[in-house]
Amino acid sequence: MSTHTGTIPVVAVPSAPSLPSRKSTSPAPAPAVRTAPATSTAPASPTAPAADGSAAETAPRRRDPLLIAVRLSPLLGLAASIAMVVWGLDTGVLRSLVNLQAFIDSLGAWGPVAFLVVSAASVVFPIVPGGLLVIAGPVLFGPVEGTLYNYVAVCAGSMMNFAIGRHVGLDLIERMFGVRTVEKFLGWTRSAHFTRAFATAIALPVAPDDLLCYIAGTTRVRWRTYALIILLCKPWALIAYGLGVSALLLRFLPW
């Protein structure tokens, strides 16, 4: 009896502490694992898309200042032209063709120089609508001399457009004219007959010559080929548009 009673407490003593040790270790890591991801991932998930969404919303709202200047410059040039017309009517310069040509003659060499500079600059950057200057050339300086000035100024500006397109690329052209407008005419450059189509467009007075000259600079057209197209095809458009419209203008104006 004594031996059996001695062994019973020996077996029961180690079994009793083993049970609470398992109960104490199992619930301890459970709340630690659950609370850690809840606090770390919950605030991080909404902040990431908020930053991306704000960047995506603010990026399209930024407007290119160069594109705004290109779009506003014709309006400013037109306003300046209207102001000059009002000034000419008030001073009597535009009262008759004789008074206008007398005023141009009084400027001496500065008259043709100023006309050449403004006309060439309007081809590169639309300060004044180019059509107005092409018409004004024969009116101000006569049919022969005015057409010659138009030819020199437009050819010089077209050469500058080609040089800008060749050395700068499409980035500046798309900023000036807009991506959609440039994409409409880029299909011509992928054609095998681009040189013929470009020469035909330059000879016609209805094509956007300034933009086409910029785009031609981004192609593989050589300088020699481009210069020949401009020098040989530009006079026809200037004669058809400049002389034709100016003749009609002088015919119907009460001068």
Cβ proximity of 214 and 157 under 8 Å: no
Q: Which residues contact 106 (CB under 8 A, 6 or more apart)?
A: none
pLDDT at 199: 92
The pLDDT of 138-165, averaged and rounded, is 93
Question: Would you list the DSSP string of 22-46?
Answer: HHHHSTTHHHHHHHHHHHHHHHHHH
Cβ-based neighbour number of residue 215 at 10 Å: 24
Alpha carbons 254 and 45: distance in angstroms, whole number:
75
Q: Which residues contact 113 (CB under 8 A, 6 or more apart)?
A: none
For residue 80, pLDDT over 50 is answered with: yes
Locate all alpha helices (DSSP H) within the chain, ordered by sequence.
2-25, 29-58, 65-91, 97-106, 110-124, 130-141, 143-167, 170-177, 179-189, 194-203, 209-216, 223-238, 244-252
Alpha carbons 241 and 227: distance in angstroms, whole number:
21
Alpha carbons 211 and 199: distance in angstroms, whole number:
14
pLDDT at 70: 67
Q: What is the DSSP letter of 129?
A: -
The pLDDT of 172-179, averaged and rounded, is 83
Window from 8-12, 90-94, 124-128, 169-173 with minimum mean pLDDT: 8-12
Q: What is the mean pLDDT of the chain?
A: 76
Cβ proximity of 138 and 243 under 8 Å: yes
CA-CA-CA-CA dihedral for 220, 225, 229, 230, to nearest 10: 80
Q: Tell me the pLDDT tens digit for each residue of 35-60.
A: 444 444 444 444 444 444 444 444 55
Window from 37-41, 198-202, 251-255 with minimum mean pLDDT: 37-41
Is the alpha carbon torsion for 121, 123, 128, 132 positive or negative? positive
Q: Where are the domains of the chain?
A: 65-252
Question: Would you list the DSSP string of 220-252?
Answer: S--HHHHHHHHHHHHHHHHIIIIIHHHHHHHHH
For residue 74, pLDDT over 80 is answered with: no
**pTM for the whole structure:** 0.67
For residue 1, pLDDT over 50 is answered with: no
Confidence category of residue 67, pLDDT binned at 50, 70, 90? low
